[in-house]
Amino acid sequence: MEDLVVDGEERKISAKIMCDSHLFALESDRVFGHSWVFVAHESEIPQAGDFVTRHIGRDPVIVSRGRDGQVGVVLNSCSHRGSQVCAAESGNARTFRCPYHGWSYRGTGELVGVPAEREMYGRQLDRTRLGLKNARVGTYHSLVFATWDPDIPDLLTSLGDMAFYLDTVFGLTDEGMEVLGPPQRWVVNANWKFASDNFAADAYHVYTAHQSVATIGLVRAVSMADAQGTMANVADVAGGHAVGCNRLFEPGTPSDVALKSLVGMFRLPPESVAEIQKNLMSEQVEMLATFPPGVGTIFPNFSWLRAPLPGDIGGAPAPATTIRIWHPLAVDRTEVWSWALVHRGTSEQVRRDAGRAVARTFGSTGMLEADDAEIWTLMQRGLSGSQGQTRWLRYLSRTDADPTWPGPGSAHTGFQTEDNQWHFYRRWAHLMSSSDLT
């Protein structure tokens, strides 16, 4: 894979990794089989028996809450002949029954029923061997991840430098966050990595791709010159994760003043300031008060965005928080899953405003994201031909890490850099190279 993700004077990646279906098939195992993959938010399945059906890479899984309150993730495929045992997208069930021969399972994967077991098999089957295949489950601030790999480090270790930043988005309040109902889903005819790459803090594209929302005055237009010094891109180099932070307050703003203002922008009650100071480390509070983390990607295909965004021109900003799965359907086809999140305990009005602010900016009809999706399909088409596949995607910008950055990870401050995205592809290449080519 070294010839596909090429370091050197010019960092570049081969267009093949976006277009080659053989590589896509390999990715399914090597990347998605050996990473923590986001599957659900805990608030989607609050009660025992609640479930949602999701994917790890291309494999369908059931994510459910057991009678003990624990979240389980199992392959949605019967141990007898492989049929999916659940065809719904969400619901509540005590057991999942295969429609073919009737084998039944609990959400934990345990096989609990085999019709005519003695008549068919003359004995009781060894049910310990015949459960649904279990995935390892890890949760962080109610974000549920799963992996098939028994050997990769636990979720928190795998999140690496990013846990610090996720705390400042999802871990502000004691009660945490919850989803506003089921996700939007839509299908983009482009490789999933374009989207992960974009949310790995590509601030550069904003000036062209999203010019229209600045021109009409929905968001404040900042010239590229004025943006100098307002951005920080931070990478977890080993993990391929990334976060982008944007300075919201003038330098020198006292931290408590900035935090109070931020809490106002997020429409949290004033007492949240103390709650945040209690729940976060002082370095994290300091970061919120200077460069609040705004967008990020957890390798491979989970992204998030949090910003005070207006739902209307001249309207007060609402706390827009969205989380994403870039679900790989094919090498050139990605299903986007997009949720809106709010802090638990938020008033009805703020919930409404937050949902609207997310949907009007990011998501299927989002005035920013509709353009992103369109452009990713143009990239896919531009690169998919035989000449296109000989070409390179270029990540030319690189800067030295800022040693004064107060948080973990390799931070690049100033304007946008392409280091974050580069590390994302390095992680991809590492995983793609790490198994035998058999």
Partner 1 sequence: MTLITTTTRVASTEQLYGEVFDWLVDESVLLDRGLLSEWLDLLTPDATYQVPVRDIRSRFDTTERRTGEYFHYDETRSSLAVRLRRIAEPTAWAEDPRSTTRHLVSNLRVTRLESGDVLAESYLVLLRHRGQQLDYEILSGERRDVLRRGDDGRLLLASRVVELDRSSLNMVNLAVFL
Pairing relation of β-strands 136-140 and 143-147? antiparallel
- The residue within the footprint of partner 1, chosen from 29, 275, 286, 335 (CB under 8 A), is 335
Q: Give the shortest CB-287-to-partner 1 separation in angstroms.
A: 29
- In this structure, which long-range contacts are made by residues 383-387, counting pairs with CB atoms below 8 Å and at least 24 apart in sequence? 383/15, 383/18, 383/19, 384/19, 384/332
Stretch that binds partner 1, among 83-91, 116-124, 224-232, 238-246 (CB under 8 A): 83-91
Handedness of CA 328, 58, 41, 409 (dihedral sign): negative
d(CA 143, CA 123): 42
Q: Retrieve residue 235's tokens.
A: 């990478």
Q: Give the shortest CB-228-to-partner 1 separation in angstroms.
A: 22
Verify binding: residue 185, partner 1, rule CB under 8 A. Answer: yes
Stretch that binds partner 1, among 5-13, 31-39, 214-222, 232-240 (CB under 8 A): 214-222
Q: Give the shortest CB-86-to-partner 1 separation in angstroms.
A: 8
Verify binding: residue 179, partner 1, rule CB under 8 A. Answer: yes
Stretch that binds partner 1, among 3-11, 215-223, 272-280, 393-401 (CB under 8 A): 215-223
Residues 260-319 that bind partner 1 (CB under 8 A): 311-313
How many chain residues are in contact with partner 1, going by CB under 8 A? 52
Q: Retrieve residue 336's tokens.
A: 């986007």
d(CA 366, CA 357): 9
Q: Which is nearer to partner 1, 88 or 257 (CB)?
A: 88
Residues 349-388 that bind partner 1 (CB under 8 A): 351-352, 355-356, 358-360, 363-367, 369-371, 373-375, 377, 381
Residues 85-144 that bind partner 1 (CB under 8 A): 87-93
Of 81, 108, 388, 420, nearest to 236 (Cα)? 420
Q: What mask, x for binding partner 1 by CB under 8 A, covers residues 38 to 77?
A: ----------------------------------------
Of 71, 133, 65, nearest to 94 (Cα)? 65
C-alpha count within 13 angstroms, C-beta hemisphere, residue 100: 9
Per the CB < 8 A criterion, the answer to whether 177 and 344 are in contact is yes
Q: Which is nearer to partner 1, 67 or 185 (CB)?
A: 185
Q: Give the shortest CB-276-to-partner 1 separation in angstroms.
A: 25
Pairing relation of β-strands 392-394 and 143-147? unpaired
Q: Give the shortest CB-164-to-partner 1 separation in angstroms.
A: 29
Q: Retrieve residue 329's tokens.
A: 């359907």
Per the CB < 8 A criterion, the answer to whether 353 and 344 are in contact is no
- The residue within the footprint of partner 1, chosen from 82, 115, 182, 382 (CB under 8 A), is 182
C-alpha triplet 124, 128, 130: angle, nearest 5°? 80
Verify binding: residue 434, partner 1, rule CB under 8 A. Answer: no
Chain residues binding partner 1 by CB under 8 A are 87-93, 179-189, 208-209, 211-213, 215-216, 218, 311-313, 335, 339-340, 351-352, 355-356, 358-360, 363-367, 369-371, 373-375, 377, 381
